[in-house]
Structure 1
Amino acid sequence: GGGYKPKFTKLKTLLEDEFQSDVEITGEGTPSRTGWFEVQVNGKLVHSKKQGGDGFPDSSQKLEVVVKAIKKALGE
């Protein structure tokens, strides 16, 4: 429960704490949808709930996919 915003805020904080300024995380809750969530690394989109149909990383498996995409974009 609690809607989309608390989930977004928690995940944004988690990823920004791990990757600092290397990632840009944007999202928004909308009345007609559950919101959107995007992760960019150096201007490159690596995850998009809105455009790519990647969904919101609401499980540890989905989160790991996002983390791997970030690390790959960073060359780690």
Structure 2
Amino acid sequence: MKLKTLLEDEFPGDLEITSEGTPTTTGWFEVQVNGVLIHSKKNGDGFVDNSQKMAKIVSAIKNAIGK
């Protein structure tokens, strides 16, 4: 939820953010931009717990929406 808030603050009104919890794990957090997967906890990217991971996501979103 924290990352959702950060991204909504960075891109107000530009994003549609959805999430899904899983009963047996802490979730499979993934970020897709225009159908391209740019971050996946499930595939080894882990939690977004540092500025480099956040910068990668923000950069991909900026490129996708032309900002």
Q: Same fold (TM over 0.5)?
A: yes
Structure 1: runs of 5 or more not aligned:
1-8
Tell me the amino acid that sits aligned with residue 45 of structure 1: G
2:13 corresponds to 1:21: yes
Per-residue CA deviation, residues 4-62 of structure 1 (Å, 9 max, x unaligned), is: xxxxx111011011101211222233122221224455xx13534267x3443221111
Residue pair 1:57, 1:63 contacting (<8 A) in 2 also = yes
Give 1 or 2: higher strand fraction.
1
Residue pair 1:23, 1:39 contacting (<8 A) in 2 also = no
What is the rounded CA distance, in whole Å, between the counterparts of 1:21 and 1:33 in structure 2? Answer: 30
2:64 alignment counterpart: 73
1:6 alignment counterpart: none
Runs of 4+ in 1 over 3 A off after TM superposition: 38-41, 45-48
* Superposition RMSD in Å: 2.3
Distance 1:45 1:55, change over 3 A: farther
1:63 alignment counterpart: 54
Shift of 1:68: 0.5
User: Which of 23, 26, 34 in structure 1 is aligned with 2:26?
Assistant: 34
* Identical aligned residues as a percent: 63
TM-score (structure 2 length as normaliser):
0.69
